Structure 1
Amino acid sequence: MVDLILRGGRVLDPAAGLDAVTDVAFEDGKIAAVGPDLAQSAGTEIRDVSGKIVTPGLIDLHTHVYWGGTSLGVDAPTIAKRSGTTTFVDAGSAGAGNFPGFRAHVIERTEPRILAYVNISYAGIFGFSKNVMVGECGDMRLVNPDECMAAAKANKDLVVGIKCRIGAKAGGASGIAPLQLAIEVADMLDLPVMAHIDSRPPSQKDVIEILRPGDVLTHCFRPWPNAPVDANRNVRAEVLAAKERGVYFDIGHGQGGFSFASCRAMVAEGILPDAISSDVHVLCVEGPAHDLLAVMSKFLALGMDLNDVVRCVTENPAKIIRRPELGGLAAGTPGDATVIELRDETVEHTDVVGEKLTGSQRLACVGTVIGGKWWSDGAEPA
């Protein structure tokens, strides 16, 4: 029996090359069919979404949702209801020392899907607030590859890679060493690495040159220091080389990871992000990042095509985490979908250095389907 039909929306599924007004049907927790005038069964729930946009369930590749167990975590269901995110990928909130708690107390109790990168630091991101900021890789005694590998193996159904945060804030005097160890672990497990870089040392060049095809450079459009462009707004050679060899570029907006100026320079060179993500955490959930839809709206204001924006939160991140079944609406795949509305509203967007950008449209969540059921109506940001 068909459980739910989303009727008459504009269905955008970049993985299938689909942009058409049509229906989406769900049965037994999965996508049943996509097509016009789909037949309903007795008891089928019909949702009229005409005038709205239906996409595969949105995937936020960089989030921090270990709420209650880490100081930076936010509540995934609250964010999901306003952003339409059906899959949160937690970017290293937990390390080997606290991953069991993350799994038992948050992941297994949360209806939106949560997958995770395991932090190379045993403690995960433990000291992160307005008043306390202690980088988890600043003490190499915490960077234990054996513990990280064991945690990833024990949770292989949830783990999509290894996360390493380095730079003056996250790694202190440890330099590039934590990332080198993260790559060693990832090599042994055939997993990708997601690399964060903040202020020097090390330089972005040091970081990006050791990333492998399939690894992720997050905060890829960050401001100075360690911006991807030089003082003349030219894309740095090592950035171009990384893109050419297959390193994925993830936005990771957050509190310090996204600059309009860097974005414009990169896009002018034809370099679009592979993934648009929020890096939502306690210090940016009320701005400047807010949530995934807010970051997507910024890219619309910057002139990026809606289909390309949707690709960066569906097909592309699904490929990056090696879960292609999550990135589209093919029959038989998990029954997740997001219903959004493109509203004609004047919106003032802000990047992490305070630059303002006025947009004329905003994406808003109308509702979310998880596991083939209408999970929630949309909610407005606080």
Structure 2
Amino acid sequence: MAYDLLIKNGHVIDPDQGIDGLFDVAFADGRVAALAPSISDASAGEVRDAAGLYVVPGLIDLHTHVYWGGTLLGVEAERVARASGMTTAVDAGSAGAGNIRGLIDLVAPRSPVRILAFLNLSLVGIFVGDGVHVGEAEDLRFLDIPLCVGAARANAEHVVGVKIRVGASTTGALGAIPLHMAIRAAELAGDLPVMVHVGAGMPPRIEDIVDPLRPGDVLTHYCTPKENSPLTSRGQLRDCMIAAKERGVIMDVGHGSGSFGFDVARVMLESGLSPDVISSDVHMKCIDGPAYDVLATMSKFLVLGMPLAEVIRAATATPAAVCRRSDLGTLRPGAHGDATLLEIRKGAVVFKDSIGGSLQADRRFVPRGTVIAGQWWHDGAAAA
């Protein structure tokens, strides 16, 4: 047989290649082997019919916390993947230089889902959880640039950037100083991107968080409804947000348990600041709602009016580009053999944001199959 697996009759949306139409997709030796309007059933050892479904590159969640067993917030990547069709989880700073090997050597090999990581500038990573409210970056003794650089270089196969959480609850009196340190560490580690979390409270101001960011850096929680909002008191976009978008800062949703508001998201979409990346910020406090996973977050933006192909791009091609992984987020022959089969299921549903807001909807994404490394991995949800 020429191919190990063949997905037939699906509506392929691959923004990386500009493809949006009916195609068959074949996989061999863990890679995408062929993409064509018609591929013979006889050429594959296993054939799956995707008629009526969308076939997209394997979903990438750029902001997760999957250091399961290593941090209080960590969740199991496999659990998230079975519910969403995610094939790559990017852990957003759960681990720092002092404990990144645990994520890479102990957690990642046990997961069928690929795990990459933004390395926290803080040596200890994110250790907050029930009863623990000490910011990991409020003490300079935890912030060691040479250790961060060394760990990023030593684990370059897995580390895609540097993470820093900036806000009253995470950097305290240090304000934005840790952000500047994170940027310097990222430069020294190979000009990696920085992902910065916009804290709910001040100090510092959101301007002090956004203005230092470089093209390709990631502003996560960009739809935060909290005190340090990207909107003015009149509900208009702050100038710093517009300038950041214009210079190429990546706008990331990072839904989480407290960092996403429908009203802010609507203003962003109406103002032309659609998210570059749709991510969940899934962790122990939001895996059962309101964030759930990347697919649930994608559903919210679909219902808010973001075009289907752009929703798919924001969870495939763009996060792959942020990670500098051209072998991910695409169904281009030769790429890693990851794919997600999706249904847009009609029916009444109520979505929640992070502050109790509701969105009445008539459709949502449902995972109907997952391919990992060229093999059928999970059937997804049952047909309606």
TM > 0.5: yes
* 1:317–1:43 CA distance, 2 compared to 1 (3 A): closer
1:193-230: CA deviation from partner (whole Å, max 9, x where unpaired): 00012111111100111111110000011113111111
Further displaced range: 161-170 or 105-114: 105-114
1:180 Cα offset (Å): 1.0
Judge conservation of contact 2:128–2:135 (CA < 8 Å) in 1: yes
Q: Report the 3-state secondary structure (helix = DSSP H, G, I; strand = E; otherwise coil) of the residue aligned with 1:294.
A: helix
1:224 corresponds in structure 2 to: 226
Residue type at the aligned position of 1:174:
L
Alpha-carbon distance in 1 for matches of 2:223, 2:34: 38
Judge conservation of contact 1:81–1:379 (CA < 8 Å) in 2: no
Judge conservation of contact 1:229–1:266 (CA < 8 Å) in 2: no
Q: Report the 3-state secondary structure (helix = DSSP H, G, I; strand = E; otherwise coil) of the residue aligned with 1:181.
A: helix
Judge conservation of contact 2:89–2:114 (CA < 8 Å) in 1: yes
Judge conservation of contact 2:118–2:162 (CA < 8 Å) in 1: yes
2:264 corresponds in structure 1 to: 262
1:327 Cα offset (Å): 1.6
Structure 1 residues without counterparts, runs of 5 or longer: none
Alpha-carbon distance in 2 for matches of 1:42, 1:62: 38
1:41 Cα offset (Å): 4.5
1:345-377: CA deviation from partner (whole Å, max 9, x where unpaired): 211011111110011001111111010000112
Structure 2 residues without counterparts, runs of 5 or longer: none
Alpha-carbon distance in 2 for matches of 1:257, 1:325: 30
* 1:301–1:338 CA distance, 2 compared to 1 (3 A): same
Alpha-carbon distance in 2 for matches of 1:273, 1:341: 22
1:24-63: CA deviation from partner (whole Å, max 9, x where unpaired): 1001111011112202456610001111110000000100
1:354 corresponds in structure 2 to: 356
Instruction: Work out which of the residue numbers 275, 278, 281 in structure 1 matches 2:277.
Output: 275
* 1:27–1:41 CA distance, 2 compared to 1 (3 A): farther
1:116 corresponds in structure 2 to: 117
Alpha-carbon distance in 2 for matches of 1:15, 1:181: 33
Residue type at the aligned position of 1:169:
S
Residue type at the aligned position of 1:281:
H
Judge conservation of contact 1:277–1:313 (CA < 8 Å) in 2: yes
Alpha-carbon distance in 2 for matches of 1:25, 1:258: 38
Give the alignment of 1:33-182 within 5 angstroms: 33-41=34-42, 44-129=45-130, 131-182=131-182
1:154-206: CA deviation from partner (whole Å, max 9, x where unpaired): 10011100000110111222211111110111111210100012111111100
Judge conservation of contact 2:11–2:20 (CA < 8 Å) in 1: yes
Alpha-carbon distance in 1 for matches of 2:25, 2:325: 21
Alpha-carbon distance in 2 for matches of 1:263, 1:228: 10
2:324 corresponds in structure 1 to: 322
Further displaced range: 111-120 or 36-45: 36-45
Tell me how large the CA RMSD over aligned residues is: 1.2
Residue type at the aligned position of 1:84:
G
Q: Report percent identity of matched pairs.
A: 50
Judge conservation of contact 2:25–2:36 (CA < 8 Å) in 1: yes
Q: What is the TM-score with the length of structure 2 in the denominator?
A: 0.97
Alpha-carbon distance in 2 for matches of 1:239, 1:36: 42
1:296 corresponds to 2:301: no
Judge conservation of contact 1:128–1:134 (CA < 8 Å) in 2: no
Q: What is the TM-score with the length of structure 1 in the denominator?
A: 0.97
Judge conservation of contact 2:6–2:44 (CA < 8 Å) in 1: no
Judge conservation of contact 2:72–2:127 (CA < 8 Å) in 1: yes
1:207 corresponds in structure 2 to: 209
1:110-169: CA deviation from partner (whole Å, max 9, x where unpaired): 12111100000000001223x322211122211111111111111001110000011011
1:279-318: CA deviation from partner (whole Å, max 9, x where unpaired): 0000011111011111011111111111110010011111
Alpha-carbon distance in 1 for matches of 2:42, 2:334: 18
Judge conservation of contact 2:198–2:222 (CA < 8 Å) in 1: no
Residue type at the aligned position of 1:175:
G
Instruction: Give every structure 1 segment of 4 or more consecutive aligned residues whose post-TM-superposition deviation is greater than 6 Å.
Output: none
Residue type at the aligned position of 2:17:
A
2:311 corresponds in structure 1 to: 309
Residue type at the aligned position of 1:136:
E
Judge conservation of contact 1:81–1:367 (CA < 8 Å) in 2: no
Alpha-carbon distance in 2 for matches of 1:231, 1:42: 61
